[in-house]
Amino acid sequence: MEKNKPQVNLLIPLYNEEEVYDKLIERLTNVIEKTTLDVSVILVDDGSKDKTPFFMRETALKDERFSAVFLSRNFGHQLALTAGLTCINATEAVLILDGDLQDPPELLDKFYAYYKEGYDVVYAERSSNAEKSFKRLTSRWFYQLFDRMTETKIPLNTGDFALISRRVADILNQMPEERRFIRGMRSWVGFKQKGIFFDRPQREYGETKYPLTKMLRLALDGIFSFSEVPIKLIINLGILAVLSSFIFLTITLYRKFYLDVVGEGFTALIFAITLFGGVQLISIGVLGEYIVRIFFQVKERPLFIIESRIEKQKEINGQEIL
Ligand code: UDP
Ligand code: MG
């Protein structure tokens, strides 16, 4: 890296992205050549099964502006980012973006201008979103729900696409939580934060690596890692159930002693049993979600395993890293 230019890392997780890879490197190289910043790119291979790691190796060995981090298996997008954040070397800031070009790297200078104005976090808000309507709708619902349930405010229509200052990156690296929801953690950190709008294009190459199940898991991690509202809901539900059963008891006794009618109510009984059985199971499930998180957290396993790295065109293998 050159000394006189401000240093910025671009951090990009890649999972089976061979289709977009060449295009990505071309766009990145263009950005690096145009900007006045000293950019170095960190590509993280999240255990890809296609040719992505092979291509990454080639790029990093021939161009010192690119370094490559190889994880030992697929750890998921959030942990791939977490791993990449531990490998940063830029003094000023880190731009986090997806590798599928849905987060245009050309916005770097715009992000950086706000950073220079004193913002520690500059995040991208999607003013329009070419994503399929199902994904758009479910993500809007999720952010509205998240907003109601947590005190950490994350702006609607954002992802992990953001420029964060070196000090925010260092703080994220000190947060040991296991189920990571980086866009939430980034908001939680505080400092001056600023959103800039951009039109999010559709994914042009390859398929989404976030199928419904992974999306749901990320959403649950967001809620259960940032909110105690589900537990509070259980208590309220319990109070409601106790109250309604007392009201029902009073009505039944009144009918028996004053009106001399004994209800038959077999259907009502079955309904009540199954209803409260269901409520109890759901409540246990909610508790379980928190307990599972405690369970994995107390193990204190490493969050990810870096198998090897290529930096400044040199290979560093896992033993030296661990
Ligand atoms: N990704 C990853 N590990 C995974 C899934 C995805 O590193 O297990 C990367 C992927 O290669 C991409 C980014 O995370 O660079 C975002 O994924 P994708 O574009 O598929 O998500 P979407 O835009 O559909 O939400
Ligand atoms: Mg994408």
> pLDDT tens digits for 191-238?
999 999 998 888 888 888 888 888 888 888 888 988 888 988 888 888
Mean per-residue pLDDT over the chain, rounded: 89
Whether ligand 1 lies within 6 angstroms of the CB of 103 is answered as: no
Q: What is the pLDDT of residue 140?
A: 81
Whether ligand 1 lies within 6 angstroms of the CB of 86 is answered as: no
3-state DSSP percent of the chain in helix, strand and coil, to 5: 50, 20, 30
Distance CA 119, CA 195 (A): 10
Whether ligand 1 lies within 6 angstroms of the CB of 138 is answered as: no
Distance CA 234, CA 296 (A): 23
Rg for the chain (alpha carbons), in Å? 25
Ligand sitting nearest the alpha carbon of 49: 1
The whole-number average pLDDT for the span 235-250 is: 86
Instruction: Name the pTM for this structure.
Output: 0.84
Q: What is the dihedral of CA 229, 181, 161, 170, to 10 degrees?
A: 120
The whole-number average pLDDT for the span 280-306 is: 91
pLDDT in tens, 85-113: 999 999 999 999 999 999 999 999 999 99
Q: Whose CA is nearest to atom 2 of ligand 1?
A: 77
Distance CA 41, CA 61 (A): 13
Q: Residue 123 phi/psi, 5° resolution?
A: -110, 160
Residues with Cβ–ion distance below 5 A, ligand 2:
98, 100, 102, 203
Q: What is the dihedral of CA 181, 186, 190, 193, to 10 degrees?
A: -140
pLDDT in tens, 61-76: 999 999 999 999 999 9
DSSP string, 185-231: HHHHH-SSEEEEEEEEPPP-SS--S--HHHHHHHHHHHHHHH--HHH
